[in-house]
Structure 1
Amino acid sequence: MSGIVFFATQNHDAVVDFYVETVGADVWLEQPDCTVLKHGNLLVGFCARDRTDDEGIVTILADDRAGVDAYHERVGAAATEDPHVEKTYDIYRFLARDPDGRTVEFQTFLDPEHSV
C-alpha cells in the first residue's frame, strides 16, 4: 500500500519551509495550492486553506537515537520536550510543533528489527 496524507494549512510557505529546511524533506510534487513532500517513505501534502488541520501527529523516523538527538537540535525552540525513552512503545522520541501548531514526533524504534 502507498499513499499521501494531506493537511490543510493556513501557513503554507512557513510549513513547507519547516519540513524542507529544518526536517530535511524534499519537494516531491508542486500543485497549484498544495505541496507534497517526501521524507524517506513518507509522503505528506500541505494545501493552502483558510484553516489548519492539526489533528493527528506527523512522525519522522530516524535511524537511531543519535538521529533523534540531531533532529532535536535542528528544530530548536519548536521542540516541546527533550528526547526520552517511551517504554510503552519501545521508542526513543520527542515532540515538536510545526509553524501551524501541528504535532510532529521524531522517533526511532529501540528494537533493531523495526529500524528504518
Structure 2
Amino acid sequence: MNKRPPIEQQVTFLHARDLVETAVFYENILGLELVLDQGICHIYASGGDAYLGFCQTLGQHMDAPPATNHIMLTLVTPDVDGWHDYLVGQGVTIEKPPTLNEKFNIYQCFVRDPNGYLIEIQTFLDPAWPKTVRHSEIGD
C-alpha cells in the first residue's frame, strides 16, 4: 500500500465576476493580504496555510477543465507526481495528468471528487509563493 504524500497548504479558487471589485472587498474591507497576483487570479492569505483565490472568468482562461459551479479546490504539495501515483493506485480517474502550466508557473494535475468538483493538486514554482510553516517550527 502506498503512503499518502503530504498536503502542506490549501487554496480554494472561486469565480470573480469583477476582479477589481473583489480585490477592494477582500483587501480593503476584510483586510486579507494579497500573496500572489497572477493577473486574472488574485490569491489571498485567509489564515494559517489556507488561501482564497479569485479568478476572472474561471474556466475560460485557465488551462483546466471547467469546474462544477465554478468551484475548484486546490491542494498544494511539493510532490504532484507522488499524489498522481497515489490517486491512480486508489483507482481515482485522472482528469489531467501532471503538467507544467507555464502561464501560472505551476506544476499541476486534476481529478474530480464524487460530486463532480474539480480538484487541482499543484506545486507553485513562483518564488513569490509563501512557503509553508510547519507546526514544529512554531512550537506546536
Provide TM-score, normalisation by structure 1.
Answer: 0.49
**More helix as a share of residues:** 1
Higher Rg of the two aligned structures: 2
